[in-house]
A and B are shown apart, each in its own frame.
Chain A
Amino acid sequence: MSDQPKPFAVDIKQLKSRPKDTSPAAIQSVDRAGEQHGFVARDATARRGRPPSPRTGQVHAKVLPHIADEIAAEATRRGVTQGILIEEAWALYLTHKSGK
């Protein structure tokens, strides 16, 4: 006879799920019960407004005044930022450089 206790083993047949109410009404009543005891919503709510632009890279190019005016006018006409025109110009430059 050994004095060693029997190793702990889980009988998975004993592990039964019990039905729980997940209806919106039940959750609402749980939220109300929680609020009475100070268990309130703490998740950050979504920010309102326009999502932040991915265009955060800054270039510091000075161009001749008439070219600056033309770039500004073209951006206004197309309803885009001047940065988009610079990106397009850069893409054209790369294409030209690669000889395609």
Chain B
Amino acid sequence: MPVVVIASPKGGSGKSTSAVLLGTELAHAGAQVTMLDCDPNRSLSLWGERRALPPRMTLLADVTESDIVKAIQKHDADGGIVIVDLEGVASRLVSRAISQADLVLTPMRATTLDATIGARTLALIGEEEEALGRSIRHAVVFTMTRGIESKQHRGIEASLGGQGVDIVQPALMERAAFSALFEFGGDLRSMPAQGRMEEAIKNASAFAQAIYQRLTEAAQ
């Protein structure tokens, strides 16, 4: 099972929202998805407690530094996807999870602070690639973006792109439906309408397809 590790030492960058959107959209598209909640704030667990998980989804909570590698290994098999949601700090749990990843996704708000702190994850991945002797694919997704990109957003994107960082298109926009996932649980299709639902679903689905494409490329 390809393993997607969602990592950024910056809190509030949109890791859990990205994890839930990715997991629910991939499950909706037919994948078997296992979500590992490694965040002591238990964001995924709170989402999972709101209502029954969507079909084809499993959620494991309270995964810690000492059992993260075993937990990933246990669910890492052909035919599905493991999504690991991590806490927003620089910890050994993060570095160990990255070591088991097929793709590391770093959500980032388009601010200099998020980009600076998020870049620590990219540096760590490079170091781990060297230590493990294998390449670890990684990508950045901008979160909570607006319809019209700010000058700062364009600058950060150009800077990361110039350094060869893979940037997921589309970015995840700031949408009422995305934050409401943690109020209602389930997925975008089962929750009561929040704002422009069609646009939200389109955005989330396109994001999941972009990640799926990277996973299938990584497997070849």
User: Is there contact, CB below 8 Å, between B93 and A14?
Assistant: no
**Distance, CA A9 to CA B28, complexed state (A):** 8
Binds B, one of A25-33, A47-55, A60-68, A91-99: A25-33
**Distance, CA A19 to CA B90, complexed state (A):** 26
**Distance, CA A56 to CA B99, complexed state (A):** 45
Q: Is A77 an interface residue (CB 8 A)?
A: no
**Distance, CA A7 to CA B209, complexed state (A):** 10
Measured CB to CB, the closest approach of chain A to B133, in angstroms, equals 8
B16-57 CB contacts (< 8 Å) to partner A: 25-26, 28-32
**Distance, CA A11 to CA B79, complexed state (A):** 9
Q: Is B148 an interface residue (CB 8 A)?
A: no
Q: Which residue of B lies closest to A16 (CB)?
A: B219
Q: Is A78 an interface residue (CB 8 A)?
A: no
User: Is there contact, CB below 8 Å, between A15 and B79?
Assistant: yes
User: Is there contact, CB below 8 Å, between A33 and B124?
Assistant: yes
Q: Is A1 an interface residue (CB 8 A)?
A: no
Chain A interface size, under 10 / 10 to 19 / 20 to 34 / 35 or more: 20 to 34
Chain A positions within 8 Å of B69 at CB level: 22, 27
**Distance, CA A24 to CA B90, complexed state (A):** 21
Chain A positions within 8 Å of B65 at CB level: 41-43
Chain B positions within 8 Å of A11 at CB level: 216
Q: Is the interface of B mostly helix, strand, loop or mixed?
A: helix
User: Is there contact, CB below 8 Å, between A34 and B124?
Assistant: yes
Binds A, one of B70-78, B165-173, B177-185: B70-78
User: Is there contact, CB below 8 Å, between A29 and B81?
Assistant: no
Q: Is A2 an interface residue (CB 8 A)?
A: no
User: Is there contact, CB below 8 Å, between A10 and B29?
Assistant: yes
Q: Is A100 an interface residue (CB 8 A)?
A: no
User: Is there contact, CB below 8 Å, between B131 and A12?
Assistant: no
Given A9-B29, A10-B212, A37-B120: A29 and B92 interface contact (C-beta under 8 Å): no
User: Is there contact, CB below 8 Å, between A8 and B92?
Assistant: no
**Distance, CA A41 to CA B95, complexed state (A):** 10
User: Is there contact, CB below 8 Å, between A30 and B91?
Assistant: no
Chain A positions within 8 Å of B190 at CB level: none
User: Is there contact, CB below 8 Å, between A12 and B90?
Assistant: no
Chain A positions within 8 Å of B209 at CB level: 8
User: Is there contact, CB below 8 Å, between A42 and B208?
Assistant: no
Measured CB to CB, the closest approach of chain B to A3, in angstroms, equals 14
User: Is there contact, CB below 8 Å, between B81 and A34?
Assistant: no
14 A-B residue pairs with Cβ-Cβ distance under 8 Å, sorted by A, are A8-B208, A8-B212, A12-B80, A14-B219, A15-B1, A15-B216, A17-B77, A18-B2, A18-B102, A33-B128, A33-B130, A34-B128, A42-B92, A43-B93
Q: A8-B205, A31-B96 given; name 10 further pairs at CB < 8 Å.
A: A12-B32, A15-B219, A16-B78, A18-B218, A20-B3, A21-B134, A30-B95, A30-B98, A33-B128, A42-B65
